[in-house]
Amino acid sequence: MSPQREEKLYSIGEAAAVLGVSVQTLRHYSKIGLLEPAYTNPETGYRYYSYIQLSLLDRIRYLQGLGLSLREIKAAYADGHAGALLPYLERQLREKEEEQKKLQQLIDTLRWYIDFFCYPQRQQLPQVPYKRTIGRRYLLAVPIPPEEQRVEERRGQPVPCSIRLRQLKAQPPFEDLIFLRQNGYLAGLQRLLYREWAPQEYFIYLKEPPGFAHPNLRVLPAGEYLCFQGRPLTGQWDPSLARTLVGQLPAGQRPALAVADEYEDDLQDFTNSLYEFQILLGPAPGEDRAALGGRETGEIL
């Protein structure tokens, strides 16, 4: 019988080169007890790894790439069964899925914000009304008392409703909600159409449904809206054409309030911002004005 062939061993330098890692990395694995060399020369102290250990080392690197810590890998290797890896892999999967969810939310918000800044440029004749189909929207609002409604007279001065809204959104149960960077007003339609700017509520949009009811939460129904643009805080707006069109609607179909969405096309002075006025012409199929939660939508629009 031929003599048994000796097992091929790889010096620490050779093993590091094969795996594409540093010698220091392999020394560290040995130091923490993760994987000892197959043989250490007692005279020279040189370390050698077996062929099987190259596979073990390669798996360690792979598991690290999946996000497992060396402590977790060591614990699984100490158990010896592949099933010992599953709890760590499953936990890592849950964490990465949550990170992916947050990243997708950020991507969606970035796309929304880009569209937010580009949107005002699409309508070149602000006084000319146009129609838009808008989906259901959720917002957090604070009332504006009569003494605060003449917003244009407070230019350059603190706006109390804005301060109250900022304070409200930072308090329970709203502090964990995701808000969009867009504010607006709910204003009486009749006064607005006759160029009297006296908003009744100041709001900020939510990115998604809040999941609970509250007196300060509002729901704007999906539907077709008649829109026009202007700068009400500086008096640069003309609702006359919109007034003519709304006047053609049956009295029972005219909403009580209009929406005024703010678009920040002036980064230095918010009082010079452009607004899109939105007048509900009719809710989308399946939308019920009086059954959308919070205060009845009939009181809002």
Classify domain 123-300 by CATH architecture.
Alpha-Beta Barrel (3.20)
Q: What is the pLDDT of residue 130?
A: 93
Q: What is the pLDDT of residue 166?
A: 95
Q: What is the pLDDT of residue 254?
A: 81
Q: What is the pLDDT of residue 148?
A: 80
Q: Using one digit for the tens of pLDDT, what is the confidence trace for 200-258?
A: 999 999 999 999 999 999 999 999 999 999 999 888 999 999 999 999 988 778 888 89
Per domain, the residue ranges of the chain are: 9-82, 123-300
CA distances from 3 to 38, 39, 52, 100 (A): 21, 21, 21, 57
pLDDT exceeds 60 at position 276: yes
Answer with the residue of higher pLDDT: 291 or 45.
45
Q: What is the pLDDT of residue 122?
A: 72
Q: In this structure, are residues 120 and 265 in contact, taking their beta carbons and an 8 Å threshold?
A: yes
Q: What is the pLDDT of residue 143?
A: 95
Q: What is the pLDDT of residue 222?
A: 93
Q: What is the pLDDT of residue 294?
A: 31
Give the residue carrying structure tokens 């009719």: 282
Q: Which residues of 216-230 are buried (b: 16+ CB within 10 A; e: fewer)?
A: bbbbbbbbebbbbbb
Residue 3: pLDDT band (50, 70, 90) is: very low
Q: What is the pLDDT of residue 127?
A: 81
pLDDT exceeds 70 at position 299: no
Distance from the Cα of residue 132 to its chain's centroid = 24
Q: In this structure, are residues 184 and 259 in contact, taking their beta carbons and an 8 Å threshold?
A: yes
Q: What is the pLDDT of residue 271?
A: 79
In degrees rounded to 5, what are phi and psi of residue 22?
-90, 155
pLDDT exceeds 70 at position 156: no
The whole-angstrom separation of Cα 46 and Cα 12 is 8
pLDDT exceeds 70 at position 150: no
Residue 5: pLDDT band (50, 70, 90) is: low
Q: Using one digit for the tens of pLDDT, what is the confidence trace for 164-194?
A: 999 999 999 999 999 999 999 999 999 999 9
Mean pLDDT, rounded, of the chain: 88
Q: In this structure, are residues 152 and 235 in contact, taking their beta carbons and an 8 Å threshold?
A: yes
Kindly state the tokens that stand for 188.
Answer: 């009486």
pLDDT exceeds 70 at position 2: no
Q: Using one digit for the tens of pLDDT, what is the confidence trace for 76-105?
A: 999 989 999 999 999 999 999 999 999 999
The whole-angstrom separation of Cα 294 and Cα 278 is 21
Q: In this structure, are residues 301 and 283 in contact, taking their beta carbons and an 8 Å threshold?
A: no
**CA-wise closest residue to 11 among 47, 56, 60, 54:** 47
Percent of the chain scoring above 90 in pLDDT: 71
Q: What is the pLDDT of residue 249?
A: 87
Q: What is the pLDDT of residue 1?
A: 38
pLDDT exceeds 70 at position 123: no
Q: In this structure, are residues 213 and 184 in contact, taking their beta carbons and an 8 Å threshold?
A: no
Q: What is the CA radius of gyration of the chain?
A: 32
Q: What is the pLDDT of residue 157?
A: 58
What integer is the mean pLDDT of 11-27?
Answer: 96
Task: Report the first-to-last Cα separation within the chain, whole angstroms.
Answer: 96
> Going by CATH, does the domain composed of 9-82 fall within 1.10.1660.10?
yes
